[in-house]
Amino acid sequence: MSQVDTTAQAPQLRLSSARGRWVLAATVMGSSMVLLDSTVVNVALPTIGRHLSASLGGLQWTVTAYILTLAALILLGGSLGDRIGRRKVFLTGVVWFALASALCGLAPGIGVLIGARVLQGIGGALLTPGSLAIIQATFTADDRPRAVGAWSGLGGVAAAIGPVLGGWLVQTAGWRWVFLLNLPLAAAVVAVTARHVPESRDSSVQGGFDVAGAVLAVLALAGITYALIEAPERSSRAAIVAAAVLGVAAAAGFVLIERRRTRSPERVAPMLPLDVFGSRQFTVINVITFLVYGAFGGLLFLLVLQLQVVSGFSPLGAGSALLPVTVLMLALSARSGSLAQRFGPRWPMAIGITGLAIGMLLMTRIGVRASYVADVLPAVVVYGLGLCLTVAPLTATVLASADVRHAGVASGVNNAVARAASLVAVAALPVAVGLGAASYHQPPRFDHGFDLAAIGCAVVLLIAAALAAFFVNNDVLRPEGAVVQPEAHVSCTVSAPQLQPAPPR
The residue segments making up the domain with residue 222 are: 210-268
Q: Are 223 and 288 contained in the same domain? A: no
Q: Which one, of 211, 271, 256, 255, lies nearest residue 83 by Cα?
A: 271
Residue type for position 107: A
Query: Domain total for the chain?
Result: 2
Domain presence at residue 504: no
Q: Are 301 and 384 contained in the same domain? A: yes
Q: Which one, of 139, 111, 56, lies nearest residue 427 by Cα?
A: 56
Q: Are 458 and 412 contained in the same domain? A: yes
Q: Which ranges in 106-175 belong to alpha helices (H)?
A: 110-138, 144-172
Distances in Å between the Cα of 491 and the Cα atoms of 122, 350, 351, 483, 494 are 42, 11, 9, 18, 8
Domain presence at residue 358: yes
Taking the mean position of all CA atoms in its chain, how far away is CA 504?
6
Q: Are 292 and 372 contained in the same domain? A: yes
Q: Are 458 and 478 contained in the same domain? A: yes
| Burial bucket for residue 264 (CB in 10 Å: 0-12, 13-18, 19+) | exposed
Domain presence at residue 118: yes
Inter-axis angle of helices 280-305 and 443-471, nearest 10:
160
Q: Are 249 and 274 contained in the same domain? A: no
* pTM for the predicted model, two decimal places: 0.72
Q: Are 394 and 430 contained in the same domain? A: yes
Domain presence at residue 498: no
Digitized pLDDT (tens) for each residue of the chain, 505 residues in all: 333 343 445 567 776 677 778 888 888 888 888 877 777 787 888 888 888 887 777 888 888 888 888 877 877 777 787 778 888 889 999 999 999 999 999 999 888 999 999 999 899 888 887 787 788 778 877 777 777 777 776 776 676 677 778 788 888 888 898 899 889 989 999 998 888 887 877 666 666 677 888 888 888 888 888 888 777 665 567 888 888 899 899 989 998 988 888 777 667 777 777 777 777 888 888 999 999 999 988 888 889 888 988 898 888 888 788 888 777 876 776 566 667 777 788 888 899 999 999 999 999 999 888 889 999 999 999 998 888 888 778 877 877 776 665 555 676 678 778 878 888 888 888 888 887 666 667 888 888 889 999 999 999 999 999 999 998 888 776 655 343 333 333 322 222 233 333 333 3
Domain presence at residue 501: no
What's 407's domain CATH number?
1.20.1250.20
Phi, psi of 205, deg, nearest 5: -70, 135
Q: Are 323 and 358 contained in the same domain? A: yes
Contacts of 241 (CB under 8 A, 6+ apart): 227
Instruction: Please identify, among 233, 253, 268, the residue that sits at the C-terminal boundary of a domain.
Output: 268
Domain presence at residue 500: no
Partners of 13 in the β-ladder: 139
Instruction: Please identify, among 245, 268, 291, the residue that sits at the C-terminal boundary of a domain.
Output: 268
Domain presence at residue 145: yes
Q: Which one, of 127, 262, 274, lies nearest residue 207 by Cα?
A: 262
Q: Are 428 and 355 contained in the same domain? A: yes
Q: Are 393 and 479 contained in the same domain? A: yes
Q: Are 224 and 182 contained in the same domain? A: no
Contact 321, 163 (CB under 8 A): yes
Contacts of 51 (CB under 8 A, 6+ apart): 175
Q: Rounded CA gap, 505 and 501, in Å?
A: 7
| Burial bucket for residue 365 (CB in 10 Å: 0-12, 13-18, 19+) | middle
Domain presence at residue 13: no
Residue type for position 468: A
Q: Are 68 and 160 contained in the same domain? A: yes
